[in-house]
Chain A
Amino acid sequence: MSCIDEDLIQQYIDEEVQAEESERITRHLAVCPGCAKLVAERRQWALSMKRMIREVADEPVVVPPFVAPAKSVPLGSLRKRLVLALSAACLLAFFVLHWNHPSAEKSAIEDELTILQHSDWPVDANQPFSQQGLQINLIDPEGNVTGYVLE
């Protein structure tokens, strides 16, 4: 029967007890041959256990070269980029097709009216508007000029 707890003996031989406790155990072992014998046996036993476990893998180890993985773009990021690129292409295609469409050009020309304004028209500011003899000429897409005189 030992005076010291077996778990504590394990910690003592592994040098994992507090300094104060360690000193107390050492002092006890000096005066208690039974415990001293047990601790010596446990120390030998622990060493032999360590050695046996080590022998499971005691061959020299050759370190193989480490092959770093190739840099890969995460799938999520790739998908996001693809969606954005497709959206941009669709928008570009829409604008190109819309503005270059012949009917769109035609309708723009048909609706176009040119107003010629002559700023050097003799205007008498003291006369009423109806007596200014102001003329507005409208030119349609066919080139016909229609004049309107303000009276």
Chain B
Amino acid sequence: MKAFDQLYQKHYPTVFRVAVKMLGDSDEAADVVQEVFLTLFQTMEKGMVVEYPLSWLYRTTLNKCIDKQKYNGRFQKLETAPEGQVEFQSIEKQETRIRVQRALGKLKPVERALAVMYSESLSYKEMAEATGIRFSSVGKTLSRTLKKLEAELKNKKYELY
């Protein structure tokens, strides 16, 4: 399917990044992304039309990540930096990454999804579609989520040393 191949090549990196931010583990993220694209493939194979593929991909990825975290039973993976990448990063960057991962792990799944989508520069409309939050409430929820994240980051800064 040519249409599917184009979508896969175009959106795989974005979807993968979202899954890594949600799960904090690149191996698990790769599994989730494969599942997401497999679902898309089967949907398109049946002849069903996916009107807004990127929105569909965001929504499906976020839901699958939340399910995965529930299945794993509480975000242990967020506590560690991805293996194999540590030695190539500067200490400072590595610390920042751990802090942000831990702080994201403290948020509720929907709040984490909002923060991740905000970092991807999605519009409020897209965030509302992907998370199921009312469009009119996105700004308020996002503002509070970012403040919560900031507070967590400040706490983690002290915890780290």
Contacts and interface: CB of A to CB of B under 8 A. Distances in A.
A62 to B, nearest CB: 9
Interface size class of A (residues with CB under 8 A): 20 to 34
Contact of A49 (B30, B139, B140, B149): B149
A6 B142 CA distance: 11
Contacts of B142: 10, 14
B150 A53 contact: no
A140 B16 CA distance: 91
B150 A7 contact: no
A8 to B, nearest CB: 8
Contacts of A7: 139-140, 143
Given A55-B100, A59-B85, A66 B146 contact: no
B87 interface: no
A63 B13 contact: yes
B87 to A, nearest CB: 13
A50 B9 contact: no
Contacts of B138: 16
A16 B139 contact: yes
A75 interface: no
Interface in A5-40: 6-11, 14, 16
Contacts, number: 79
A61 interface: yes
Contacts of A52: 96, 100, 153
* B contact face: mostly helix, strand, loop, or mixed: helix
A54 B17 CA distance: 8
B86 interface: no
Nearest to B101: A56
A84 interface: no
A68 interface: yes
Given A6-B143, A7-B143, A54-B119, A16 B124 contact: yes
A93 interface: no
Contacts of B119: 49-50, 53-54
B12 A53 contact: no
A66 B1 CA distance: 11
A104 interface: no
A68 B40 CA distance: 11
Contacts of A69: 38, 41-42
A57 B22 CA distance: 10
A69 B5 CA distance: 14
Interface of A: 6-11, 14, 16, 45-46, 49-50, 52-57, 59, 61, 63-64, 66, 68-69
24 contacts: A6-B143, A9-B143, A10-B139, A10-B142, A16-B123, A16-B138, A49-B115, A49-B146, A50-B119, A52-B96, A52-B100, A53-B115, A54-B119, A55-B96, A55-B100, A56-B20, A56-B24, A56-B97, A57-B20, A57-B21, A61-B13, A63-B8, A63-B12, A69-B38
